[in-house]
Amino acid sequence: MPGEPSSYNSLASLFPLAYPVPSPLTHPDLLTHKDLHREEDLLRNPNSFRAWWTSLQATREACLAEQKLEGSLDVSDATRALLGPLASPLARLNFQRLTYLYESALVHFAGSFKLWKSYLTMRMSFVCGKPVIRKRAGGKKKLPEMGDALEDELEDLEKWEGPLDPIVGWEEWKLLAATFERALMYLPKLPRLWLMYISIFFHPACPPNLSLTHARRTFDRALRTLPPSLHARIWTRYLLLSERKGGVTAFSVYRRYLSVDPSLSERYVALLLNPVNAEPRPLEAAKLLLQLARNASKGQYISPEGKSPYQLLESFIDVVEKFSEQVGLDVEETLKSNQSIAEADSLKEVSESASVNGSGANINDTTKTVDPDEDPLNPRKFNIEDIIKKDGLGVYKDQAGRLWVGLATYWIKRAEFDRAKHTFEAGLSSVLTVRDFNQIFDSYGEFGQSLMDALMESLKEEEDDEEIAETEKELDQQMKDFEDLADRRPFLLNDVMIRRNPNDVQEWEKRVALWGEDDEKVAETYTQAFETINPRKATPNFHRLYIAFARFYEEGGVSGKAEPDLQSARKILEKATKVNFRAVDDLAEIWCEWAEMELRHDNDDEAIRVMQRAAAVPKNTKINYHDHSLSVQARLFKSLKLWSFYVDLEEAIGTVESAKAVYDKIIELRIANAQIIVNYAAFLEENKYFEESFKVYERGVELFTFPVSFEIWNIYLSKFIKRYGGTKLERARDLFEQALEKCPAKSCKPIFLLYAKLEEEHGLAKRAMSIYERATQEVNDTDKFEMYKIYIAKATENFGLPATRPIYERAIEILPDRQTAEMCLHFAALERKLGEIDRARAVYAHASQFCDPRIHSRFWSEWNSFEIETGSEDTFREMLRIKRSVQAQFNTEASYLAAQTVAATQGSQISKENGEEPQDAMAAAEKQAGKGPAFVAAKATGSFKPAESNDVAASDQPSNVDEIHISDDEDI
C-alpha cells in the first residue's frame, strides 16, 4: 500500500497519534467538506450535550463503515500484528478524528460519566484491540464470598483480539493510562471507571511499566478513594493481579487483605507453598496453618472449604513433613526448647497458685503477646514435638496414631532415626485404641524395613573393609531390632487394651498367657494386676485372677517344674478374702476354692476350718444381702453359694449332726431355697431319719408359698405315701388337705390325682369319687375337661356306665361351649351303648346349638352317621332342620366371619384340585349350604337310606333311576 511504513522504527515513529490532541490546525485531514455543517452546528450550540452526542455517534458509525470498506486493502501481516487496530492509515486517521471530537466535547462536559465512558471505550478499542464478549447464563451473584468471587472474577476477566504492540505503541498505551487519570480526576468516586482502568493491567500486551508498579499504585489509590462498601470489587482484581505477578508483591498484597478478612488464609497458604516467580515460604505457611487450626478449635475461624480444626492441623503436619528442614528445630534445639518449656510451665503453675492465694502477680493483667508460632513474619522455627503434644495429642485424642506418625515422619525426613524410633516407641506406649496402635506399628515396621533396605544398598556400594564391617554391624542390629519389634507386638497390643481399661480382667489374663512358662514374669504380671485393678470397677471374674495365682503356686508354676508352694497359695487366698469384690458370690468362690485346695492336699480338717471361718455369722443378722453400700465381707454370711458348698463338705467328710447343724443354720438365716429343703430331707432320709425329713418338708412348705411350695408338697406327699402307705391314712389326709388349702387352681390337679389315688388304694372308693368331684370344681378351667374325663373313667370303673350320666350332665352345664360339644359327643356315645337312642338324639340336639356347621364338621358328621344308622326319615329331616337353623343363627354372629374364612379356604382348595376358578367366601359357603340330602329308594326291604349330606358330594354317589329328590327347603 502506498505511504505505509515498512521498518520497525518507522512504525514507532507514527506515534503518538493523540498527543498533542489533534485539531484542524495541526492536522488538516481531520475535517472534510462533509464535516463543515457539523462543525458549524456545534459552534452554534456548544452547550447542547445532545448535539455533541449525536455528532459523536454519527462520526463513529461513519468511521466503522469506512474501515469495513477498507478491509480489503493490502496490509502486511507483520504490520497488522504490530499495530493491531491502527494498522491502516484510515484507522489512524479515524482514531484522530474521534479523539478530536471527544476532547472537544469534554471541554464543555468534563463531568459527564457517559461521555468519559464512551471516550475511554473508544480509545481502548484502538489500543487494546477488539474485546471478546462471552455469553453469560443468568446474572452475577451479589456480594459472594471472597473465595467464590475470585473464581468468578477469574472467569470474567476481559479478553481482546489484535492489540497494539506495547513497544511500538508505547506512547499510545501511556496516553490511554493518562486519559484514565484525567477521567478519574473529574470522577474519582465512580467504581466503573476504576474497574475499566484496572482491566488494562490484565491485558497480555500491557507494557510492564504500567502492569507492575503503576498498577499496584493505582489499586492502592482506588482503595483510598472509593468508600469501603466498594472495596470488595477492587480487592478481587487486586488479588488476582498479585497472584498473576507473584513474588513479594503477591505476599504483601495478601497480607494486607488478610488483616481485614482472614477467609482467604487457606488460599494464601497454597500460594505460599506454590508461589509464582518466588521461592516457597513453608515456615510462613505452617505458622498461618497453625494459627488457623488453633482459632478453629476455639470457634474463632470457620474454614470456607469446610475443613475441621483437625483437618487444618493435619495440613500443618503435611507441611512439616514436606519441609522439615525449613520449618522445625533439630534434635538439640528441640531438647533445649523442651527443657525451657518445662521450666516455664513449672513457673507458671507456681505463679498461678500464688495468685490464687493472694500473693502473686496481678490476675487482671490483660496484656497479650503475639505467639511466635502464630506470627507469620517471625523467623523462629517450630518445636514440632511441643506443638504435636499440646495442639494435637492434647486435643484430638482419637487421632493419636496419625499425630505420632506425623511427628516420627518429621524426624525421619531430618535423618534423625534414633529420635524417630524414640517417637514411635512413645506412641506405642501411649495410644489407647487398636486403630491408632496399628497405624503406628505399621509405620514403625515400614520405617525399619526401609532402613534395612537402605543399609543393604549402601553395603553394595561401599569398598572400604572397615566401612563394610561397620555397616554390616549396623544392619545386624537393625534386623535384631526389627525382629524384636515383631515379637513384642502381642505385648504392645495388650498394653494398649490395658491402658484403655486398666480394670479389664480378661486382658490381664491374656497378659499372663503371653508370658508362657516364664514363671517370674507371670508372678510379676499377677502382682501388677492386683495393684492396678480397682475391685469395684473390675470386669467380671476378677476373683478368678486370685484363684489362678494361688493355683500357680500350688502347682509349682506354669510348667510345674518348681516346688509347690502351698503356703504362698494360702497367703494369696487370704489376701483375696479381704478384697471388696463387686459381688458376694465372688468372695464366696474364693473361700470355696481355698477349701477345695485343702481337700486336694488331704487337709480335710483345714478345709472344714476354712469354711467355718467363711460362714461365721455376725451378731447382727438383719443385714440386707442386696445392700451394696456394705462390703461383701459383711454380707458373706448370707451367700447361698457359700453355705451350699459348706453343707456339701459336711455331708462328704463331716458327721450327720454337723451337716444337720449347717442345714438348720441355712434355714434359720432364711436364705434356703426349695432345692436346699429337698436336699436336706433327702440327706436325712438316706441316713434313716424319716420323721425328721418329713419335718424338714413341713418347714419348707411353711417358708415358701406357691408355686415354689408346690414342688415341695409334691415330693413330700409322694415320700409320705411311699413310706407309710395306708398305715397313717388320717395323717396323710390332713397333709393333702393342708396342701390343697392354699394351692391355686392352676397347680392343684396333680395333688388331687395323688389324693384320689391314695383313697383308691388305701381308702374308700366313695371318698375317692368325692375327691374327683371336688377336683372338677376347683381345678383351673383349662384342666376341667380332662378332669371330667378322668372322673367319668373312674366312675365307670367303680360304678358302671349308668352312674356317669349325672357327671356328664354337670360337665355339660359347667364346661365352655367348645368343650361342651366334645363332651356331648362322649355322652351320646354312652347313651348309644346303653341303647338309649332317643336320649342320644336329645344330646345331639342340645350340643348342636354350640356347633357351627362350617367349623365343627366332625360333630355334624357323627350326628349324620348316627341318624343313618339308627334314625328314620323324620328324625333325619329334623336333624337337617336343626342344622339349617343353627347355620342361620351363626350367620348373624361374629363367628360367621371365621366360618366364611374356613369355607373360603376349603372352597379354593377344592377348586384348585378340580381345575375350577376360585370363588369368593360367600359363594363357597352358599354352595356348601346348597348341598341337600339325597334319599334313594329302598331295596327289596322297602326301607329308606339317607345319603351323607355334607361329607360326601351327590356326584360321588352311584346314579339311581329310582332316586327320590327331596328339597332342603321343603316344609316339614
Confirm whether 711 is domain-assigned.
no
* Tens digit of each residue's pLDDT (9 = 90 or more) over 811-845: 777 787 777 777 887 878 777 787 788 787 888 78
Task: Indicate the residue among 198, 226, 254 that finishes a domain.
Answer: 226
Instruction: Provide the pLDDT confidence category of residue 902 given band limits of 50, 70 and 90.
Output: low
| E strand or H helix that includes residue 606 | helix 604-614
Q: In which residue are the cell numbers 554390616 written?
A: 472
Instruction: Provide the residue range defining the domain that includes 11.
Output: 1-132+151-226
In a domain, residue 769? The reply is: no
- From 882, 901, 920, the end of a domain falls on 901
Per residue in 597-646, pLDDT tens?
999 998 999 999 999 999 998 888 888 888 888 999 999 998 999 999 99
Q: Which residue has the cell 502347682?
A: 555
pLDDT at 353: 65
Residue 46, preceding bond cis, omega within 30 degrees?
A: no
Task: pLDDT band for 802, please (50, 70, 90 cuts).
Answer: confident
Listed in sequence order, the residues at least 6 apart from 936 whose beta carbon sits closer than 8 Å to its beta carbon are 944, 945, 947, 957, 960, 962, 963, 964
Mean pLDDT of 759-768: 82
Is a pLDDT exceeding 90 seen at residue 444?
yes
**Per-residue pLDDT reduced to its tens digit, 246-272:** 889 999 999 999 998 888 999 999 999
pLDDT at 288: 94
d(CA 924, CA 909) in angstroms, rounded, equals 11
Q: Does residue 472 sit within a domain?
A: no
Model confidence at 453: pLDDT above 50: yes
Assess whether the previous peptide bond of 379 is cis (omega < 30° from 0). Answer: no
Q: Is residue 55 part of a domain?
A: yes
CA distances from 796 to 758, 790, 807, 812, 835 (A): 19, 10, 11, 18, 17
Please compute the mean of the pLDDT values over residues 524-544 and round it to a whole number: 92
Q: What is the pTM of this model?
A: 0.71
pLDDT in tens, 65-85: 888 877 645 678 888 888 888
Q: Choose one of 849, 872, 901: the last residue of a domain.
A: 901
Cα atoms found within 13 Å of the Cα of residue 943, Cβ hemisphere only? 8
The CA distance from 650 to 661, in Å, is 10
pLDDT value at residue 489:
94
pLDDT tens-digit series, residues 486-532:
999 999 999 999 999 999 999 999 999 999 888 899 999 999 999 99
Give the helix/strand (H/E) hosting 80.
helix 77-83
Q: Please count the structural domains in the chain.
A: 2
Q: Would you say 383 and 402 are in contact if contact means Cβ atoms under 8 Å apart?
A: no
Residue 77 CA to residue 425 CA, distance in Å, equals 73
pLDDT of 779 higher than 80: yes
Q: Is residue 891 part of a domain?
A: yes
Give whichever of 348-352, 471-475, 570-574 has the largest mean pLDDT: 570-574
pLDDT above 90 covers a percentage of the chain that reads 38
Whether residue 484 lies inside any domain: the answer is no
Give the pLDDT of residue 800.
79
Extract the runs of DSSP E, i.e. beta strands, from 132-208. 160-161
Q: Do the domain assignments include residue 443? A: no
Percentage above 70 pLDDT, the chain = 88
Which has the higher per-residue pLDDT, 408 or 865?
408
DSSP SS3 for 941: coil
pLDDT tens, position by position, 346-378: 888 777 666 655 544 444 444 457 788 888 888
* 954, part of any domain: no
